[in-house]
Amino acid sequence: MVDEHCCPLVPAQVWHDSRPVEQVRWTNERFGADKYMEITGCMPDTTWWGLKIKWLRDNDPGVLAKAYKLLTVHGFFVRKLTDEWRDSYAAPSGVLDMAKLRYSSTILEALGIPREKLCDLVSPGEVIGCVSKEAAQDTGLPEGIPMGSGAGDQQAGGLGCGVIDPSMAYLNLGTSVVLGTVSRRYVAHRNFIVRAGTLPGSWNPEALLSAGYWMITWFKNNFAREEVQAAERDGIPPEEALDNQAAKVPAGSLGLIVQPYWLGVRQPYWDQNAKGCIVGWTAAHNKEHLYRAIIEGIAYDVRLNLDGIKQVLQTNIEHVRILGGAARSKLSCQIIADVLNAAVSTASTPEATALGAAILAATSIRLYPSMEDAAKNMTRTALTFNPIPENSKMYDRLYRLVYRNCYDAVRPLLKNISDIVGH
Q: Are residues 277 and 396 in the same domain?
A: yes
Residue ranges of the chain whose pLDDT lies below 70: none
Split into its structural domains, the chain has a count of 2
Report which residue type is found at 131.
V
**Helix, strand, or coil here: 99?**
coil
**Helix, strand, or coil here: 88?**
strand
Q: Are residues 222 and 259 in the same domain?
A: yes
Q: pLDDT by residue (tens digit) across 248-265?
A: 999 999 999 999 999 999
Q: List the CATH number of the domain containing 210.
A: 3.30.420.40
Q: Are residues 54 and 128 in the same domain?
A: yes
Is residue 248 within 8 A of residue 297, CB to CB? The reply is no
In a domain, 72, yes or no: yes
Q: Out of 148, 180, 203, pick the residue that ends a domain.
A: 148
Q: Are residues 140 and 156 in the same domain?
A: no
Q: Are residues 286 and 317 in the same domain?
A: yes
In a domain, 10, yes or no: no
Residue-number span of the structural domain to which 114 is assigned: 21-148
Over the Cα atoms of the chain, what is R_g? 22
Q: Are residues 283 and 360 in the same domain?
A: yes
DSSP 8-state class, residue 401: I
Q: Are residues 110 and 257 in the same domain?
A: no
Q: Out of 148, 180, 210, pick the residue that ends a domain.
A: 148
Q: Are residues 43 and 181 in the same domain?
A: no
pLDDT of residue 350: 80
Torsion of the alpha carbons at 63, 67, 71 and 76, rounded to the nearest 10? -110
pLDDT of residue 192: 97
Q: Which pTM was predicted?
A: 0.94
In a domain, 327, yes or no: yes
In a domain, 161, yes or no: yes
In a domain, 15, yes or no: no
pLDDT of residue 272: 76
Q: Are residues 137 and 199 in the same domain?
A: no
Q: Are residues 211 and 224 in the same domain?
A: yes
DSSP 8-state class, residue 30: I
Q: Out of 118, 148, 178, pick the residue that ends a domain.
A: 148
Q: What is the DSSP string of 256-315?
A: -EEE--TT-B-TTT-BTT---EEE---TT--HHHHHHHHHHHHHHHHHHHHHHHHHHHT-
Alpha-helix runs per DSSP H in 141-286: 153-160, 214-223, 225-234, 238-246
Q: Are residues 139 and 157 in the same domain?
A: no
pLDDT of residue 422: 87
pLDDT of residue 88: 97
168-173 and 319-323 beta bridge pairing: parallel
Q: Are residues 135 and 162 in the same domain?
A: no
- φ and ψ at residue 284, rounded to 5 degrees: -80, -10
Residues with Cβ within 8 Å of residue 379, at least 6 apart in sequence: 160, 161, 162, 347, 348, 352, 355, 359
